[in-house]
Structure 1
């Protein structure tokens, strides 16, 4: 048995007006659950669950990218801290100039 969506609109209490309604919207893209291409018209309220799932996926990807950047910055910061500690321990507090001798 295949389920078909009804045409009844609870806002106006009669059948959907389709293109006569401002909320009747076309959505194009990929279904976040199946990956299938979507190019359909439906009520904006009908699209809300699908778009909410898509938004959650995008937020999850953004959070993962932010965590990855944080991890890279933590490693770089630890390296810079180690260099600074080495310079402090060995009294290398003189200004470093590449390819030149520093006057003492």
Structure 2
């Protein structure tokens, strides 16, 4: 299966992190930011970085369809252990890294 990788990803994403460790994202944002349907997730110093991959053969985590609208979810709970900071967050594109940074610092989410 071949995918086209976008050279112009969106500058920002809106993500929801659930208590059970799933990231949720809208269909439109998922298709724009992660066209291959896969990503690598890295947690460091209360910052989650999501790196789009270029296809199935490159590895990573799979964005799964979660409803008939095509919204997606990605399990990242293993990165957090028992302390998942559930809430809504903004991700911002970093062209140097080639991925989205999501700050999980206290006060950056809606508290859910």
By percentage of residues, which structure has more helix? 1
User: What band does the TM-score fall into relative to the shorter chain?
Assistant: under 0.3
TM-score (norm 2): 0.18
Structure possessing the higher radius of gyration over alpha carbons? 1
